[in-house]
Structure 1
Amino acid sequence: MLNVPQYQGSRIAVFGLGRSGLVSARALRESGAEVLVWDDNETRRAEAAAEGFAVKDLYSGDWHGIEALLLSPGVPLTHPEPHDVVKRAKKLNVPVIGDIELFQMALDAADTDVPFIAITGTNGKSTTTALIGHMAAFCGRDAQVGGNIGKPVLELAAPRPNTVYVIEISSYQIDLAPHLRPGIGILTNITPDHIDRHGSLDGYAAVKEKIFARQGAGDTAMVGIDTPASAQICSRLLGKGLQRVVPVSVGKAIGRGVYVLDGVLYDNTGTQCVTVGSLKPMKTLAGAHNWQNAAIAYAAGRSLGFPRDRILDSFESFAGLAHRMEIVAEEAGVRFVNDSKATNADAAEKSLGTYDNIYWIAGGVAKEGGIASLEPYFARIRKAYLIGQAAEAFAETLKGKVETVLAGTLDSAVAKAHEDAAGDAGPMDKVVLLAPACASFDQFANFEERGDSFRQAVLARLGKAEAGTAGEATL
């Protein structure tokens, strides 16, 4: 656990006792701070009290001596309006911060030059984070990976000479980290998201841009330039000239930066363009969106001094992330892919655009617009297996374009899709793809449970695991 000596002897309030909040409270206490905690959930308050924390009502209690409010990133800071506890903190001129701010303070106190890589963006940040962490470990570094993925940042190990911190950071966390300064800051892309928390797309983009705000000479900014908002940020950074800027693109050659054309990775220094190698053979990095993740990870690896061939070798051994185009199994020419994280049509488009000869499992709680926007990909689908509340509406959209089966449950969909794919004597490479284009809440608690159920159903179907309760409704 990291130490934050700047708050030794200080009184700090922690609001929100989810995993990162409780870890932050522990780190502050171990750093010598007096920690007062509160959560609206009574069970969480009781758990904190059992650990010896002072539980204090931060809505009406006395704030005397409180020097900072450590806020859970899920609590509204500005939009649609500040939370009541935030309003009180501001009225009393108490700084409102988050765990990423404490992490930055811990690194500052350690006075170390170990690399700190921060990754944000609308899409791809989790895969990019995991890939960079895998690459760093593969190349012999002590990769400490966490933040918005995996471990809370303060639970990571203290820095050692060989350490590299690879931290995924959400827009909510950036908003609560005014002194954030990663040595390598990464922005994958920006598309409309979290507008309710940031007021507008411009407001959302402005928060993302803060990841570079305190960078200077010796620091590096890597920016995916294939979305308009992130391209504008890249242009502004280049204009300021405060740090090294590496543009990254997929689908177009750029005069300086890293780019991918037809699956081939290129590194253009501005004076020399090097053909690094093909990303096409890498099954866990399939598709243009994953090529962007790989291009950014490559750029980070080069900034860390890793050889090009070692970086590519690390990509080949990357296992991928669960529920994000996760290859569950392959048998007799049929690949089973778990893309349960594709909870809307835009996300499902990525995997549908990656494969041909698809036996598509979709459905759940439909998002606005349904799947009409996916029509350009219908020709890739040999048959669709529809589940959940959206099944009939999706069947209507697919009528006359894609053969459909109203499967009802995920178990049934997996069984029918496998039977049809295995019995199809036509194409050699077939894919049973779970890319629901829907939320999961009609049959599952979350997309993770849905993906786990798909994996279990597939492995049971192939005789590689015990059959369980995969696909059964839990809500």
Structure 2
Amino acid sequence: MIPVTAFEGMHCALFGLGGSGMATARALVAGGARVTAWDDNPDTVAKAADAGIETGDLASADWAAFDALVLAPGVPLTHPEPHWTVDKARAHAVPVIGDIELFCRQRDRIAPGAPFVAITGTNGKSTTTALIAHILREAGRDVQMGGNIGVPVLELEPPAATRIHIVEVSSYQIDLAPGLDPGIGILLNLSPDHLDRHGSMENYALVKKQLVKRADTAIIGTDDVWCASIANLLEKDGRDVTRISVATDRDAVDLSGAPALRGDHNLQNALAALHACRMLGLDDEEIMAGMASFGGLAHRMQIVAQKGKVLFVNDSKATNADAAARSLASFDAIHWIAGGLAKEGGIAPLAPLFGRIAKAYLIGEAAPAFAATLGSHVPFEIAATIDVAVRHAAADAAQSKAPEPVVLLAPAAASFDQFANFEKRGAAFTVAVEALETDAAPARAAQGGQ
């Protein structure tokens, strides 16, 4: 835990008592702050009280007594409308911040300039975060990894001169961190996502820009117009910017010995990791050894099995068309499992990649809309559920004449119509794959085909 002594003696309102909210409350109390915490869920409030956290209904609180409102990242700050606690805080000139801001203030207080790498982007940020942390650990460095990737940032060990914090930061968290000032800030890419939360693509890009704006040095992927524009603006302001591009930097890193880093999207991740690790003092031999031993992340281009000649790949994290495009571009002879809760634009942007798809197996609420987009361009069937889609796709792939057909879960849609999150969707895919016979072709034939 990182006790937040930077708020010692202050009184903080805290709203949102999920995993990061509870961690934040504990860290503030450990640092000597007083916390009054609340949540819309009475059961969550009761659990916090049982854990020794002071709770109180913030709707009837005296907001003039608070020094800050600490908001959980999932609670709306601006769109579709500010949460009621935000309105109350602003009416009393109370700053609204989040756990990343607390981390930054504590770092500035106890270990100014301690190594801190912050990573964001629409796609690839979790893989890049994990890759950088893995390379550094393999090279013997003291590394703490957390943030949006899973472990709340305030549950990590405190900043120190030789301890490197590698932190994934979402747009929601950036919005609540006005003092975000990493030593190395990485912005990978931008494409439409979370627009219901930010109101427009312009606002979304503006929020993401804040992560690199105050970094000592920025690493920016410039293969999309939004990030290229941000790089231009930072350079114009005299900031230190390192540009990376899949289009122009293919020879900068050899990933032939790194099987978990297949595809152009992983080339972008690897380029970011290469430059970040160089800046942190590693040589190229150490970096390449770390890339070669990197096992990848679950649900992100994860190879879950090879049955006969058929490769099964779980990319359940591909929850939008841009992320799915990265998966589709990495393979040929694809038996594609797609669908769920559709996002804006659906799969129309994937049309240039339809030629790589042998057949699509559509699931969830998006199935009819995705079918309409595929039309006569790609053979498809409405499989409805993951288990049916896996059985049918595996059987068809086993009969393919391609040397390495792929059954790929890259849904291009959210999971919430059938699953609580993308992790549970990916786990269901893996279970369905594990339940297959080694040769799935007879099972498909027994069903008569479609």
TM value normalised by structure 1 = 0.87
Correspondence 1:336 to 2:316: no
Shift in Å, 1:399: 4.3
Q: 1:245 aligns with which of 237, 241, 244?
A: 241
Correspondence 1:154 to 2:154: yes
Question: Once the two structures are aligned, what percentage of the paired residues are identical?
Answer: 55
| Alpha-carbon distance in structure 1 between the residues aligned to 2:5 and 2:347 | 52
Shift in Å, 1:441: 3.0
Match of 2:417 in 1: 442
Shift in Å, 1:347: 2.3
Give the partner amino acid of 2:247.
G
Deviation readout 1:38-76 (Å, 9 max, x if unpaired): 111111111111112221111122235321111112222
Equivalent residues of 1:38, 1:56 under 8 A apart:
yes
| Alpha-carbon distance in structure 2 between the residues aligned to 1:119 and 1:212 | 9
Match of 2:229 in 1: 232
| Alpha-carbon distance in structure 1 between the residues aligned to 2:398 and 2:364 | 24
Query: What is the 5 A alignment of 1:90-109?
Result: 90-109=90-109
Correspondence 1:122 to 2:119: no
Aligned to 1:13, the other structure's residue is in SS state strand
Shift in Å, 1:118: 0.6
Correspondence 1:207 to 2:183: no
Match of 2:61 in 1: 61
Correspondence 1:318 to 2:294: yes
| Alpha-carbon distance in structure 2 between the residues aligned to 1:396 and 1:95 | 48
Give the partner amino acid of 1:440.
S
Q: 1:459 aligns with which of 426, 434, 446?
A: 434
Deviation readout 1:116-150 (Å, 9 max, x if unpaired): 00111222111111111111111111221111111
Deviation readout 1:442-462 (Å, 9 max, x if unpaired): 332222111100011112225
Shift in Å, 1:417: 1.8
Deviation readout 1:309-363 (Å, 9 max, x if unpaired): 2212211211112211111112322211011122233322211111001111122
Shift in Å, 1:387: 2.5
| Alpha-carbon distance in structure 1 between the residues aligned to 2:368 and 2:73 | 37
Compared CA separation, residues 124 and 279, structure 1 to 2 (3 A):
same
| Alpha-carbon distance in structure 2 between the residues aligned to 1:117 and 1:23 | 21
Query: What is the 5 A alignment of 1:139-150?
Result: 139-150=139-150
Match of 2:79 in 1: 79
Compared CA separation, residues 400 and 198, structure 1 to 2 (3 A):
closer
Correspondence 1:49 to 2:49: yes
Correspondence 1:35 to 2:32: no
Give the partner amino acid of 2:124.
G
| Alpha-carbon distance in structure 1 between the residues aligned to 2:318 and 2:420 | 15
Give the partner amino acid of 1:349.
A
Aligned to 1:347, the other structure's residue is in SS state helix
Say how many residue pairs are matched. Answer: 438
Question: Quick check: which one's strand share is greater?
Answer: 1
Aligned to 1:54, the other structure's residue is in SS state coil
Give the partner amino acid of 1:220.
T
Q: 1:283 aligns with which of 259, 264, 271?
A: 259
Aligned to 1:382, the other structure's residue is in SS state strand
Gap runs ≥5 in structure 1: 253-258, 267-276, 464-475
Equivalent residues of 2:219, 2:242 under 8 A apart:
yes
Aligned to 1:14, the other structure's residue is in SS state strand
Compared CA separation, residues 95 and 138, structure 1 to 2 (3 A):
same
Compared CA separation, residues 376 and 290, structure 1 to 2 (3 A):
same
| Alpha-carbon distance in structure 2 between the residues aligned to 1:299 and 1:340 | 28
Q: 2:335 aligns with which of 346, 359, 372?
A: 359
Shift in Å, 1:23: 0.5
- Which range is displaced more, 34-43 or 103-112? 103-112
Give the partner amino acid of 1:433.
L
Gap runs ≥5 in structure 2: 439-450
Q: 2:351 aligns with which of 346, 357, 375?
A: 375
Aligned to 2:245, the other structure's residue is in SS state strand
Equivalent residues of 1:4, 1:109 under 8 A apart:
no
Shift in Å, 1:112: 5.0
TM value normalised by structure 2 = 0.92
- Which range is displaced more, 399-408 or 80-89? 399-408
Question: Quick check: which one's helix share is greater?
Answer: 2
Aligned to 1:461, the other structure's residue is in SS state coil
Compared CA separation, residues 367 and 169, structure 1 to 2 (3 A):
closer
| Alpha-carbon distance in structure 2 between the residues aligned to 1:178 and 1:208 | 12
- Which range is displaced more, 169-178 or 359-368? 359-368
